[in-house]
Amino acid sequence: MSETLEIEFKTLLTKKEYQRLIDYYQLSDDLFHVQTNVYFDTPDLQLRKKNCGLRIRLLDDHAEYTLKTPVQEGKLETTDTYTPTQIHMILEQQTLPLSGAVFQKLTELSVDPTQLIRLGELTTKRAELSIDEGLLAIDESWGQQLHDYELELEVADAKQGEFAFERLLKHFALPYRPAKNKIQRMFEAKN
């Protein structure tokens, strides 16, 4: 189990801008990894109404079950880690864990984990690199009726991070295009 504070700034990119960033940072294919996020909520969208997001992120060697909840600056990510075998059974049986830190947080939010259903999924091809401003992620995502590109800067301090993000956009002559989080984009594209 882990809890981390996520403070990030993001903008949508065109395919051309995405490619320009890849070229600038000289990102070869081996520097990208592919992850699939499977998103969950109740049929009446209790988590969405609370500004929360719940996902299982499938990676090569493990899976992360993460609940994002709003805090004053950013989101608090509560994560339980599972093996690929464990997560495969969870997804196959369509029953989310009834123990662990995420279960506890859901209970605190008065969300019944047995009522959670699979909303959809997105696959993301991501390159991450540490730069002076923070952790930079360059993403291409696709899923149900969605295919987009995104630049994301994860920082430790919201105020300094906002200035750093604005400088980054200016450096690359990128317009700011507000980017909703991936679960919102997936949900809106699907509906």
pLDDT of res. 181? 86
Asked whether 66 and 103 are in contact (CB, 8 A), the reply is no
CA dist 175 to 8, 14, 23, 132, 137, Å?
17, 10, 18, 21, 17
Taking 90 as the threshold, does the pLDDT of residue 149 lie above it?
A: yes
| Predicted local confidence at residue 124, as pLDDT | 96
Distance CA 185, CA 147 (A): 10
Task: Give per-residue pLDDT as tens, 64-106.
Answer: 999 999 998 889 999 999 999 999 999 999 899 999 999 999 9
**Count of domains in the chain?**
1
The pair of structure tokens assigned to 119 is 């909303």
What range defines the domain where residue 127 resides?
1-188
Model pLDDT for residues 151-171, shown as the tens digit of each residue: 999 999 999 999 999 999 999
What is the pLDDT, as a whole number, of residue 118? Answer: 94
Q: Are the CB atoms for 22 and 168 separated by under 8 Å?
A: no
How do residues 96-147 score in pLDDT, each as one tens digit? Answer: 999 999 999 999 999 999 999 999 999 999 999 999 999 999 999 998 889 9
CB atoms within 10 A of CB 40: 21
CATH number where 183 lies:
2.40.320.10
pLDDT at 4: 92
Q: What are phi and psi of 17, to 5 degrees?
A: -65, -40
C-alpha triplet 176, 181, 184: angle, nearest 5°: 120
